[in-house]
Amino acid sequence: MKVALIHATTTAVAPIERAFRDEASGSGAAVELLHLMDTGLLAMMEAEGELTPGIVERMAVLLDLAMQSQTDCIQLTCSAFNEAVLTLQPRYGVKLFRSDEAMLDEALAYERIGLVSTVRQTPVALLAYLKARKPDVRVRSLVEPGLIHLLFQGRRKEHDERIVDMVRELDGHVDVIVLSQYSMDHVAEQVRPSVPLLTAPAASARRCLAYLTGTRRTSRTSR
């Protein structure tokens, strides 16, 4: 099985690779990961302030490359671009997964959801997904735009400390806390809130593998 991973930042690579490795070893599945990246996408999103047709078409270049590589499904790893799936999915014959859908579906089991984000456009995309599936869900969002750039500058400790502060600020006011970006996955090990703390990589890898193994079983059965 081959999974194409669509990245907008280098910080997503290690968390999703680790998640697929862990989930695949537990299930016995053999998975080949194909990494496709455009680090200019985040700068475009920050400059435009929203997901524009130009950004979507630039993402489509990566998806076209994935299809040329005969991938079995495509997994996005940057939450700010998730709404592009609505436009792009009809163009492709393989499943496109949002970066956060598996994690957010888990969060929807709770009444009050806290979101921690480091890119300004991210909570907009996440809130749209949550409200579409559960209109009465209560969401409290904390976002510090541009904080993700501390990782690019090698200032990981400063980045992590601020994320921990945001988690602690939400703790006690929500029933579950969501770390919106893959780049925050490692911070989950540094804080112990009184409510569940969800990250996306493991949930995404788990759902992707379940989809692929289920599809293969169905295909074999129908022959």
**Alpha-carbon span 141 to 136, nearest angstrom:** 15
Fold of 2-99+201-222: Rossmann fold (3.40.50)
Residues of the chain with CATH 3.40.50.1860: 2-99+201-222, 101-200
- As a residue count, the chain comes to 223
Give the pLDDT confidence score for residue 219 in this predicted structure. 42
Does pTM top 0.75 for this prediction? Answer: yes
**Alpha-carbon span 60 to 104, nearest angstrom:** 24
Give the pLDDT confidence score for residue 70 in this predicted structure. 93
Give the DSSP per-residue string, the chain.
-EEEEEESSGGGHHHHHHHHHHHHHHHT---EEEEEE-THHHHHHHHHSS--HHHHHHHHHHHHHHHHTT-SEEEE--GGGTTHHHHHGGG-SSEEE-SSHHHHHHHTTSSEEEEEESSTTHHHHHHHHHHHH-TT-EEEEEE-TTTTHHHHTT-HHHHHHHHHHHHHHHTTT-SEEEE-SGGGGGGGGG---SS-EE-HHHHHHHHHHHHHHHHHHHHHHH-
Give the pLDDT confidence score for residue 215 in this predicted structure. 57
The CATH architecture that domain 101-200 belongs to is 3-Layer(aba) Sandwich (3.40)
Give the pLDDT confidence score for residue 217 in this predicted structure. 46
- CB of 179 closer than 8 Å to CB of 198: yes
pLDDT in tens, the chain (223 residues): 899 999 998 999 999 999 999 888 876 678 899 999 999 998 898 888 888 999 999 999 999 999 999 999 999 998 878 889 989 999 999 999 999 999 999 999 999 999 999 988 888 889 999 999 999 999 999 999 889 899 999 999 999 999 999 999 999 999 999 999 899 999 999 999 999 999 999 999 999 999 998 854 444 444 4
Nearest Cα neighbor of 151 from 17, 22, 13 is 13
Instruction: Output the six-digit token pair for 208.
Output: 């992707």
